[in-house]
Amino acid sequence: MSIKHTENSKPKNIAVLISGSGSNLQAIIDACESGQINGRISVVISNRPDVFGLERAANSGINTHVIDHKQFDSREAFDAELIKHIDATAADLVVLAGFMRILSGEFTQHYQGKLLNIHPSLLPAYKGTQTHQRALDDGTTVHGVSVHFVSPELDGGPVIMQARIPVHDDDTADSLAKRVLSREHVIYPQVVEWFCADRLSLDNNVIRLDQQVLHEPVIL
């Protein structure tokens, strides 16, 4: 893969939040290691102990923290602890990679313009959970995945990039999830690459890519 960093800007510090297997985390680790992304993951935080994503991070020598949401009395208290650990790394970018907690408005505002999420649907369709099954139940013929800047609204926020896949007659939620996931591993590193090369920004809810206003998501 050809590697282009626009200008010799300083590598960005990336914090990644996970709740599970961490295959998107792995795709971003690989893209940092190959030089595709001009950045380094300074911390991986999981709200669940013993998830495979923590092992992936440790295997690459990345600092990890478990901040178990069950140990906190309120969402705000949990989010405040997250912020403390993320800010201790001076993160330039916070990447939600299969992080399955709803974040408070305080958290999303704190990281406005530098908080990304990946969601397994063609947003604004199928916000929330069970996206693949809901797409099948509706007889949808095209499904996919979106990477977006996070706003206080759940799975809201301006969409940067999407990958579309056709839904086959014999698809199940599992087969769809698998095909969508393989697209996730392409588009998430791509968007993180743009951000870390200072090519992508969000200002007043307007996305700019290479200085041009992005009116529609980039489609893979």
Task: Confirm whether 119 is a catalytic residue.
Answer: yes
Work out whether strand 115-119 and strand 206-209 pair parallel, antiparallel, or are unpaired. Answer: unpaired
Cβ 8 to ligand GAR, closest distance in Å?
31
Q: Are 146 and 217 in contact (CB under 8 A)?
A: yes
Residues 154-193 within binding reach of ligand GAR (CB under 6 A): 181, 184
The window from 35-43, 62-70, 85-93, 113-121 that contacts ligand GAR (CB under 6 A) reads 113-121
Dmax (CA) for the chain in angstroms is 49
Helix (H, G, I), strand (E, B) or coil at 55: helix
Q: Which of 12, 15, 17, 20 binds ligand GAR (CB under 6 A)?
A: 20
Q: Which of 14, 22, 161, 195 binds ligand GAR (CB under 6 A)?
A: 22
Cβ 185 to ligand GAR, closest distance in Å?
8
Residues 80-99 within binding reach of ligand GAR (CB under 6 A): 97-98
Helix (H, G, I), strand (E, B) or coil at 218: strand
Of 53 and 189, which has the nearer Cβ to ligand GAR? Answer: 53
Work out whether strand 212-213 and strand 93-96 pair parallel, antiparallel, or are unpaired. Answer: unpaired
Q: What is the residue whose two structure tokens read 């839904």? A: 167
Tokens of 133: 């099954």
Q: What is the residue whose two structure tokens read 């206080």? A: 152
Q: Point out which residues bind ligand GAR (CB under 6 A).
A: 18, 20-24, 53, 97-98, 118-120, 181, 184
